[in-house]
Amino acid sequence: MISESNSRETNQKVAVVTGSSGGIGFETSLLLAQNGFKTYATMRDLSKSKNILTMAKRKNVSIEVGQLDVTKENSVENAISGIIDQEGRIDVLVNNAGYGLMGPAEEILVDELRDQFETNVFGVLRTTKKVLPIMRKNKQGIIINLSSIVGKIGIPIMSGYISSKFALEGLMESMRYELESFGIKVVLVEPGATKTNFLNSSIFAEQALNPKSPYRSLIQKWKEAFVPKFEDGSSPIEVARVVLEVANSTNPEIRYSVGTETATLLEFRRKMPDVDFELFLKENYLEDKKILLKKGGEN
């Protein structure tokens, strides 16, 4: 990563975003840069950096692009150390890199689930641990984690992905207490279905692809219910705007939901007994009937 100017003299805030080659990370990096942050857009594969550099030029903003694979200790070390050496600070870390593992739990191999956690949980912890010493030294910083509505709600056929988001929620909720006295804020942003490449980049458990899987009927119902949700979901720029709001906040809340349906589902989850909420989800998402939950929360 080469920077034309560093933030030591200007006191400009420095933001690092993981998984910036597309989707939420892409939009977040651009929006932070447009709003005065010295932004480092990192990604595992630098060959995918052309789009964000082209868009940054079109918007007349400066973005630094760098290689960072959250699953590799050396990659994280090199990327974060390079930024700290250059800037002397990291004010905002946006943990966005991740992917989805789909399939019923019985048909997920342990190694497949291990890989899921390696990116979505251990990768987040690995990157966060690297920025904490400089944040503690500077007595301030914000760790923003892209979680999901399914970090709070279980849904079939997504058990691998969902378990990683539940783990992320618990990890970061605990770290929020641990880091408070150092002036470091920890936040979870919980989008619902978003118009990104999430489904195409997700991985189906190998055994779940077998046409003779006993779960074929359930998988089909899941596809019919959830694929359209991603096609009609929130724009990634909506999520990016929430991240920007958090990054500029002096006292952010622990959780921010994104999307009307997301807020509605989370409110139902809080208010309904487990048995009622389970019935509600099955009726609205898995039964052979028209989906009842409409945009705006009408039921």
Residue numbers annotated as active site: 161
> C-alpha angle with apex 24: 202 to 55, nearest 5 degrees?
120
* 14-17 vs 38-43, strand pairing mode: parallel
Q: Phi and psi at residue 116, in whole multiples of 5°?
A: -60, -45
H runs (alpha helix) in 158-235? 159-179, 198-201, 216-231
Two structure tokens written together for 172: 């970061």
Rounded to a whole number, what is the distance in angstroms from the first to the last CA of the chain? 50
C-alpha span between 116 and 99 (Å, rounded)? 7
Q: Closest Cα partner for 90 from 28, 135, 126?
A: 135
Q: Closest Cα partner for 53 from 7, 117, 1?
A: 1
Contacts of 134 (CB under 8 A, 6+ apart): 84, 88, 89, 90, 141
C-alpha span between 220 and 207 (Å, rounded)? 15
Positive or negative torsion for Cα 166, 170, 171, 172: positive
Number of neighbours of residue 143 by Cβ within 10 angstroms: 24
